[in-house]
Structure 1
Amino acid sequence: MSKYELRSKVHSLCGISYEQSLFASTSLTPPLLERIGGPEGMKLLSTHFYNRVFADKSNPWFLGIFATSTKMEAIDNQYRFLVQTFGGPELYKEKKGKYTRLVGRHANYAIGNSAAQRWMEHMEAAIAEHSNLMGEEQELAREYLIMYFRYTAYYIVVASEFMRDDQLSGGREVDTGRIW
């Protein structure tokens, strides 16, 4: 499947095009990273999000997607990814290497449309809860973040269908040596 076919399929699932997602993540002045409060603001967003995910006991199938990470590891990975994605320091690269491999890092998990939808519910609630994103003046920032995250969530769903075994870089086993 070409990248254009992939993008078209994602667009048909979530209603957001690649161009809209890219525009949403790069076009605001001041930029989204600054509007959210810099790296610490992204850490707060990730904390709100994963507090919701790890408290989602009514959906064990969804929580199971995150079973190989502690909540603190998940927060740290997402925060680093978001800071780097939205133009900040390359924190994710420092920890995980040159490539983000977003799809490859998620391909070992059962991530379908239901998971993307549930992920978005938690992310939209985390955005709504974020103190730096409240108020009418931040409406566009909230809208653009939601657009970016919706496209990305469904991109992972679609692209995962086409991953080869040698492209996977996530795990399925819980590290029993961790302190949970």
Structure 2
Amino acid sequence: MSAIPSPGEATTESLYDRIGEEPFRRIVHGFYQGVAEDPELRAMYPEQDLEPAEERLRMFLIQYWGGPRTYSEQRGHPRLRMRHASFHIDVAARDRWLRHMRAAVDAQDLAPADRDELWAYLEHAATFMLNA
């Protein structure tokens, strides 16, 4: 049984704790469905099958938001900029990425505060990846 925080006491409950794993699975799957139909973005994924990329993003987001550390256990430190350095990521690519991610996030029934917290990170991360 977990303790109830006292009034004014901060809680450390993560987004993962609040929403669980399934919404992350659905968001990432929906995102990659959009990527598969987007010729410009699809060209950035060298693998014929998008499933490995889907699994990596899902594991990363789950870990980032407080879930199991499977991503780091299997792949080490995320090193996002380094791992994406070979791809030409300009503002147009970022915006395409965000458009598909926005549709995937909005398709979920998340509490507004959870959705906003997730979206703020995704926008920041997408901009952080710009390299062209």
- The normalised TM-score by structure 2 is 0.83
Indicate the residue corresponding to 2:62 in structure 1. Answer: 83
Indicate the residue corresponding to 1:67 in structure 2. Answer: 46
Using the TM superposition, give the Cα deviation of residue 74 of structure 1 relative to its aligned residue in structure 2, in angstroms: 1.3
Indicate the residue corresponding to 1:122 in structure 2. Answer: 100
**1:114-140 deviation per Cα after TM superposition (whole angstroms, max 9, x unaligned):** 11111111111000112x42xxxx111
Structure 2 gaps, min length 5: 1-9
Work out which of the residue numbers 7, 30, 33 in structure 2 matches 1:48.
30
Q: What is the one-letter code of the residue matched to 1:104?
A: M
Using the TM superposition, give the Cα deviation of residue 69 of structure 1 relative to its aligned residue in structure 2, in angstroms: 5.7
- DSSP 3-state at the match of 1:100: coil
- Matched pairs, number: 123
Q: Is the 8 A contact 1:49 1:123 kept in 2?
A: yes
1:144 aligns with 2:90: no
Comparing both structures, which one devotes a greater share of its residues to helix?
Answer: 1
Using the TM superposition, give the Cα deviation of residue 29 of structure 1 relative to its aligned residue in structure 2, in angstroms: 6.9
**1:152-172 deviation per Cα after TM superposition (whole angstroms, max 9, x unaligned):** 000011xx46xxxxxxxxxxx
Q: Evaluate the alpha carbon distance shift between residue 68 and residue 28 of structure 1 in structure 2; reply closer, same or farther with a 3 A threshold.
A: farther
Give the Cα–Cα distance (whole angstroms) in 1 for the partners of residues 43 and 13 of structure 2: 37
How large is the RMSD of aligned CA atoms in angstroms? 2.0
Structure 1 gaps, min length 5: 1-26, 162-180
Indicate the residue corresponding to 2:6 in structure 1. Answer: none
Percentage of pairs with the same residue: 32
